Amino acid sequence: MKNVLGYEGQNVVITGAASGMGQAAAQLLVDLGANVYALDIAEVSTPVTTAIKVDMKDRESIDAAVAELPQQVYALFNCAGVPCPPFAPSDTLLINFCGLRHLTESLVPRISEGGAIASIASTAGMGWKHSQEQINEFLALDNDFEASAEWLNSQLQQEAIADPYGFSKQCIIFYTTSMARELAQKGIRINCIAPSPTDSGFMEKLTGEGQVPQDMVAMFLPSNGRYATGAEMGEPLVLLNSKLASFVSGNNLPVDFGYCAEVVIGQRDDMLGIC
């Protein structure tokens, strides 16, 4: 049973490793013996193999980081993300999705057969089917960062998108699902998780600087009545990319202590358009 998750001695890349879910996942990966390459704009305190400064809304910054990464990668963890507010809508979309997509597609050629990709979406993105036409239009921009920002601003002016953060997470779920077939032909898996509200620096920015009332966020807590911890999100993320999930791909896993289940079964209101 030694090395049951399969990370020992493997090269893994993780964004958003300086705090929250990403930090929790990075620490677990270090503990499991992985060679952890951590990408973040902030200082990374976890004792990783290499920490690289990167701005996920800047294509050139991502490309520079990729140049410092090993030529063979076992797993990629996309954990970087910001709330809107306080971050500007365009920055939110670029960081949460465009940067994620560019890094993922830059590293796919380096991911070995049997490797995997796992990203952090959100329960706020679970209603992606209602936005599929917009998502397809957006993805057709082919990840042009400047055009993506312009497109979002145009959509906001038309009041076609009410929640840029939610839309960025819808894109992650749709992208994950749609990429499963292509990556399966390379022997690579791709999944994402949809966390419920989590106690983190992200949440502090959302309810502090973002001025979103805590009682509003509390409406989306599961019935256990509490925020999740970063570790409670980092652990299933690590599990999804591990060899224990070697035949699991194309899935969005709600990590929400049953919140989405309650919505689907009709035990609570569908405020996120999940059904």
Which stretches in the chain have pLDDT values below 70?
Answer: 1, 201, 203-213
Query: What pLDDT does 232 receive?
Result: 96
Q: What is the pLDDT of residues 146-176, one digit of tens each?
A: 999 999 999 999 999 989 999 999 999 999 9
- The answer to whether the beta carbons of residues 57 and 99 sit under 8 Å apart is yes
Q: What is the pLDDT of residues 51-83, one digit of tens each?
A: 999 999 999 999 999 999 999 999 999 999 999
Query: What pLDDT does 205 receive?
Result: 67
Among residues 48, 173, 37, the alpha carbon closest in space to that of 118 is found at: 173
Query: What pLDDT does 199 receive?
Result: 85
Query: What pLDDT does 102 receive?
Result: 98
Domains in the chain (CATH in brackets) are: 11-265 (3.40.50.720)
Query: What pLDDT does 216 receive?
Result: 74
